[in-house]
Amino acid sequence: MSSSLELNDSSDGRDLSKAPGAHSLAEILSQPECWSSCLASLSQSGTLERVCDFFGDADEWLFIGCGSSYYVGLCAAASMIALTGLRARAIPASEILLYPELVLTAAKKCIPVLISRSGQTSEVLKAAELLRARSIPTLAISCAEGQALEKLASLTITLPAADEKSTVMTRSFTSMLLTLQYLAAVLGQNLTHSESLSKISALATPALRTLPDRIRDFVGAHHFADYVCLGQGPYYGLACEYALKVTEMSVSYAQAFHTLEFRHGPKSIVAPETLLIFLQSGEDCEAESDVLEEMKSLGGTTFVVVNHANNLVRAAADMLVELAVDSPELIRLAPSLVPGQLLSLYTGLKKGLDPDSPRHLSRAVILDDEPAKKPEHAAL
């Protein structure tokens, strides 16, 4: 993968670290190194062991966040179910604030996990206060130490190495996801997955190394009016995040659907200027491949992310990203997000925007009834 050091100068003496999107690109490219750093720090600190001791008897896990953090929760919930056999689900923080009776079930011990990159997101803080008032212990995960969320939660996992300078979440998303997956593997005593997670940086780097140039060239050669992001199971949360990244970084219209649901009405929008992004759950998933083939036959342009492509997928993909990561499927979720981050970045740059600072967005979503202050970290 290209080094972020390559952003620092150019042949005409310009400081490319100040160019539009420079922070986002550097943060996207830094992810494998960041993953290794975060997981190594967790292993050395004993944080996950303390979490397991405190919450090891949970019957259900409830992941709570806003925006990208909610989509982290969708992926984490799927991983928790698969690796532990326990019940798990994800909700936007607003749901527990507006409809607590629909969210808080009769599970003997439900553990809410409050997800916020900054530890300052207003709706997550209000959810933490509601849970605390009901004497429900909570776990928080954040990329900033000493923030308000840490004071409200029973225990907190912090990943300061994963925080970003740019507005939108990139490496913080994948790092928090991998951390929650590692927690699930430890809780489920799943040695295969925990070992694979510890090696994910080395496993994913070869496939990611050539992506920036390939995706930049693809974006440069096409113009799209609509973006549709498709995924099933644990990949649905990634599809949602793909759509959000495209929207944030490039001010483009993007939607997310479960892959097989797309043919039930939404496929009416398919045209050559529609980019259909398929997050394939496996090279042998015939049902997903059938949808890919159908959308290609309707004239859509296809962008496929898969671990290994079979002949049908190769024939139907206009842009093919093969991860070739030798690991269990769940471990590939974080690397699967990188192509979408780069697609969003280069689409924004092509439109003359600065993906580091998308319009109408700030680094913190703080509601009007919160004390006025200037946040140092992003809220999502």
The string of pLDDT tens digits covering residues 304-325 is: 999 999 999 999 999 999 999 9
Model confidence over 70-123: pLDDT tens digits? 999 999 999 999 999 999 999 999 999 999 999 997 767 999 999 999 999 999
Same domain, 234 and 145: no
The answer to whether 280 and 288 have CB atoms below 8 angstroms apart is yes
Residue 5 reports pLDDT greater than 70: no
Taking the C-alpha atoms of residue 200 and residue 248, their distance in angstroms, rounded to an integer, is 27
CATH of the domain at 134: 3.40.50.10490
Per-residue pLDDT, averaged over 132-144, amounts to: 96
Instruction: Decide if 374 is inside a domain.
Output: no
Instruction: Decide if 15 is inside a domain.
Output: no
Residue 64 reports pLDDT greater than 90: yes
CA 30, chain centre distance (Å) = 15
Angstrom distances, CA of residue 136 to CA of 26, 72, 129, 155:
39, 22, 10, 12
Same domain, 193 and 212: no
Helices (H), 63-141: 68-84, 93-98, 100-103, 122-133
Predicted pLDDT at 360: 75
Residue 364 reports pLDDT greater than 90: no
**What element of type H or E holds 311?**
helix 311-316
Per-residue pLDDT, averaged over 15-30, amounts to: 87
Same domain, 137 and 221: no
Q: Would you state the torsion angle of the CA atoms of residues 35, 66, 169, 325, taken in this order, to the nearest 10 degrees?
A: 40
What integer best gives the mean pLDDT of the chain?
90
Predicted pLDDT at 375: 39
The first and second tokens of residue 55, run together, are 């919450």
Same domain, 346 and 238: yes
Predicted pLDDT at 365: 59
Instruction: Decide if 358 is inside a domain.
Output: no
Same domain, 186 and 208: no
Predicted pLDDT at 18: 78
pLDDT band at residue 276 under the 50/70/90 scheme: very high
> What's the number of domains the chain is made of?
2
* C-beta atoms surrounding 19 within 10 Å: 15
Instruction: Decide if 107 is inside a domain.
Output: yes
Instruction: Decide if 134 is inside a domain.
Output: yes
Same domain, 50 and 98: yes
Same domain, 210 and 119: no
From 59-63, 245-249, 254-258, 373-377, the region with the lowest mean pLDDT: 373-377
Per-residue pLDDT, averaged over 160-184, amounts to: 97
Residue 8 reports pLDDT greater than 60: no
Same domain, 236 and 142: no
Which of 168, 198, 228 corresponds to the end of one domain? 198
Same domain, 132 and 281: no
Predicted pLDDT at 242: 98
Which of 198, 215, 244 corresponds to the end of one domain? 198
Same domain, 94 and 162: yes
Instruction: Decide if 370 is inside a domain.
Output: no
Which of 136, 166, 198 corresponds to the end of one domain? 198
Predicted pLDDT at 367: 63
Predicted pLDDT at 110: 94
Phi, psi of 50 (to 5 degrees): -65, -40
Instruction: Decide if 245 is inside a domain.
Output: yes
Tell me the residue range of the domain where 130 lies.
25-198
Same domain, 169 and 73: yes
| Residues in the chain, total | 380
Instruction: Decide if 56 is inside a domain.
Output: yes
Model confidence over 45-59: pLDDT tens digits? 999 999 999 999 999
Angle between helices 191-198 and 200-208 (to 10 degrees): 50
- Reduce the DSSP state of residue 267 to 3 states and report it: helix
